Amino acid sequence: MSTFRVALSADFQKPDGTAAYPSFDLSPLEDEPQIEWAYVPVTNGRIAAEDMVGFDALILLGARFDADSFPGDGRLKLIARFGVGYDTVDVGACDANDVALVITPSGVRRPVAVAILTLILALAGRLMVKDRLTREGPNGWAKRSDHMGQGLVGLTLGSLGIGNIGAEMFTIIKPLSMNYIAYDPFADEEIAKGLGVELVSLEELFKRSDYLCVNCPLTPQTQGIVDAHHLSLMKPSAYVINTARGPIVDQAALTQALKDGRIAGAGLDVFEQEPSGADDPIFKLDNVITTPHSLCWTDQCFGGIGAADTKAVLDVMAGQVPDGIVNTAITQNANWKAKLQGGHADNG
């Protein structure tokens, strides 16, 4: 029986060679005698084709995998992204090279929804300001009446997108007794109805939301959709929360809206440029809570994502179609199906 070789991008390691994320359980790979796995280098933020020669699958963390990353031996069958974002992977090139790309919605659904709830509660309670006041001693305590929090009952929570994470967000936030609205051109009306969510137009979403949460993928259609025009429609008391992808929001427009008081504040786990420079103007604002694209990172989150990725690897090794395929048409591709069964169809 031939060896099934699995690559892990080297950003899963610390500089000293130890595991960066111990909750990512590699024992399913280590316990399978047919599998041999190894780390592959990340060079200038990407995976190089020469380092992928001889591998059947890749579990990819934060590195880019572009059109020039595919090895020429045609052996690669699967790229398993560690998470749900796949803007670092060239999907068209996956199709051209007969490679399935999978993501892990089951692993991030609850952790990201909890992260959104964390930001909502922190913004509503003025948590960061009150933390600072407490540390200032009596002078800070004397100012606490100037920073009253906001109750959430009866306010409107809006979601830009009501897919995997958006639906989970509404599920866990339902006991807060807010009003729930969403815009999503691909929404399942029955799912929305079951969640008690009213589907509205894009402009109505911005006009009515007291807390507007970005829960859509980054695509050419969504890039910059939270722009100056849409921000101008919001209430001056409203907040924007983004835990999806930074470029969905026009960050310069958001910064200006926050400076001008056109909206009350924001909670951001993602940014247009990552890592962001310390001199970014948005970090100088005291009505913004920021986290470094890691608010949902917990032992349970990484454990769940890792379990989903290793299952995808094991499924492909067994000749089965894995869950979470992004480029779904690949399942009808003769070359990929031949790879899945242990062979490789003629490209000619």
Quote helix, strand, coil % in the chain, to nearest 5: 40, 15, 45
In angstroms, rounded to a whole number, what is the distance separating the alpha carbons of residues 222 and 202? 12
Q: Is 262 a catalytic residue?
A: no
C-alpha distances in angstroms, 186 versus 161, 216, 294, 328? 8, 11, 27, 17
Crossing angle of helices 105-124 and 127-135, in 10° steps, is: 60
Q: Is 147 a catalytic residue?
A: no
User: Residues for the chain: how many in total?
Assistant: 348
Burial class (CB in 10 A: 0-12, 13-18, 19+), 153: exposed
Tokens 């800070």, located at residue: 140
Q: Specify whether the CB–CB gap between 243 and 271 falls below 8 A.
A: no
Q: Is 245 a catalytic residue?
A: yes
- Catalytic residue, from 208, 230, 245, 262: name it: 245
Residues contacting residue 314 through CB under 8 Å, at least 6 positions apart = 28, 32
Q: What is the layout of strands, in order, in the sheet containing 57-60?
A: 35-40, 4-9, 57-60, 78-81, 100-102
Q: Specify whether the CB–CB gap between 197 and 170 falls below 8 A.
A: yes
In angstroms, rounded to a whole number, what is the distance separating the alpha carbons of residues 346 and 62? 33
Residues contacting residue 63 through CB under 8 Å, at least 6 positions apart = 9, 10, 11, 42, 45, 46, 47, 88
Task: Transcribe 173-218 into DSSP letters.
Answer: HGGG--EEEEE-TT--HHHHHHHT-EE--HHHHHHH-SEEEE-S--
Q: Which are the catalytic amino acids?
A: 245, 274, 293
